[in-house]
Structure 1
Amino acid sequence: MNNLAPPAGKIILTYEDYLDLPDDGNRYEILEGVLHVTPSPTTRHQRISRNLQRIVDDHVLRHDLGEVFYAPLDVLFSRISIAQPDLIFISHERAAIITDKNIAGAPDLVVEILSPTTAKRDKVTKAHVYALYGVKYYWLVDPDSTTVEEYRLEGEGYVPVNRVAGNAPFTPEIFPGLVVDLGKVWA
């Protein structure tokens, strides 16, 4: 049984319910039928997201690997699991999951930038959902500890591949040849 499922007798929300949510500046996600609401990100969060997106997107474009997207963009894993990861990479091989409205399936890479209000959800709940639906790589970016952790899906869960702190170079397994200068990410 899925440990993220709502208790018996509770309402399970769906994509149709998600589409009816207000456009009020909050970030809504439904993870295995449970609604999660987060305030909009801080400027620091957005700078880190922008900086990392530029570095990864430049590499992906230069090597014609696929496409990089950033929040807010819905990733529709199922009728009861809709997430808005901070960054998303989809290889050319998986390009069919890109629709006009959303990403309909598991991206190759999902990146979450932690905040005090989302850290536990990102590390536990979202990691479980992303693994459940087959996201191959998952990065956790922690602005407070200036760390990046890269995980690879093996079996039903993630195994750690990389953990880099401070301004050390980050060489992600998913992108051979890419060396991320973390000093430029935290700037």
Structure 2
Amino acid sequence: MGLTVHELTKLQADYPDYRMELVDGEVNVMSPSGYEADEVSIELAAQIRNWVRPRQLGRVTGSSAGFVLPNSDTRAPDVSFVKAERLRRSPRSFAELAPDLMVAVKSPTDSVAKLRDKIQEFLALGTQVGILINPESRQVEVYRLGQEAIALNDGDILTIPDLLPGWEVGVADLWPLVFE
């Protein structure tokens, strides 16, 4: 028999230095992401938050925010967005819904195939847009349920008009700066 969300919460209280997800009743301990991957996550989250907050469009979170999904898994995307009308107040613990937008940023130890599978799982559970960011290849893939993925590269503009009308960011602006 698998673990419950309540048991996961207790485990996290007992081991606060570990990031954990609950998938199919099993605990996955998440290793820290690479520095570059985290910097990319923070940049995207900041870009989205700076658009969302003054317009009161919803909530933007990073990798510490967990979601109890409709299938009872508890997952934590690297960046997520939930529309205001779906989450009027921030829950103290996990949000019990699938985020409208979830972002996975590939770190050095991640498998691109597994990240794509994770995005498809979120889409099947109600997420509208999933994004895979790969700093190694400097590519962004945008997924929507039942549609072909859209691949973006440096020189392209990332937009999410169905969730964030008017918002855009250049793909090249997501990558960490190089100080010479």
TM-score range, shorter chain: 0.7 to 0.9
Partner letter of residue 166 of structure 1?
D
Deviation at 1:78, TM superposition (A): 4.6
1:162, 1:172 within 8 Å by CA — same for their partners in 2?
no
Flag structure 2 segments of 5+ consecutive residues without an equivalent: none
Deviation at 1:118, TM superposition (A): 2.9
**1:170–1:79 CA distance, 2 compared to 1 (3 A):** closer
1:38, 1:118 within 8 Å by CA — same for their partners in 2?
no
Aligned residues: 172
RMSD: 2.1
Match of 1:162 in 2: 150
TM-score (norm 2): 0.84
TM-score (norm 1): 0.81
Task: Decide which of 169, 172, 176 is 1:183's aligned counterpart.
Answer: 172
1:150, 1:172 within 8 Å by CA — same for their partners in 2?
no
- Poorly superposed stretches of 4+, deviation over 6 Å: none
**1:165–1:18 CA distance, 2 compared to 1 (3 A):** same
2:65 counterpart of 1:68: no
Match of 1:127 in 2: 119
Task: Decide which of 10, 13, 16 is 2:3's aligned counterpart.
Answer: 13
Task: Decide which of 19, 22, 30 is 2:22's aligned counterpart.
Answer: 30
Flag structure 1 segments of 5+ consecutive residues without an equivalent: 1-10
Partner letter of residue 35 of structure 1?
V
Identity of aligned residues (%): 24
**1:162–1:62 CA distance, 2 compared to 1 (3 A):** farther
Match of 2:160 in 1: 172
**1:98–1:105 CA distance, 2 compared to 1 (3 A):** farther
Partner letter of residue 162 of structure 1?
I
2:133 counterpart of 1:141: yes
Partner letter of residue 53 of structure 1?
A
1:147, 1:163 within 8 Å by CA — same for their partners in 2?
yes
1:81-115, CA deviations, whole angstroms, 9 ceiling, x for partnerless residues?
A: 00011111011121147412121111111111112
Provide the rounded CA distance (Å) in 2 between the counterparts of 1:76 and 1:97.
16
Deviation at 1:161, TM superposition (A): 5.1
1:61-81, CA deviations, whole angstroms, 9 ceiling, x for partnerless residues?
A: 243311111121111115740
Provide the rounded CA distance (Å) in 2 between the counterparts of 1:25 and 1:117.
19
Deviation at 1:130, TM superposition (A): 1.0
2:100 counterpart of 1:108: yes
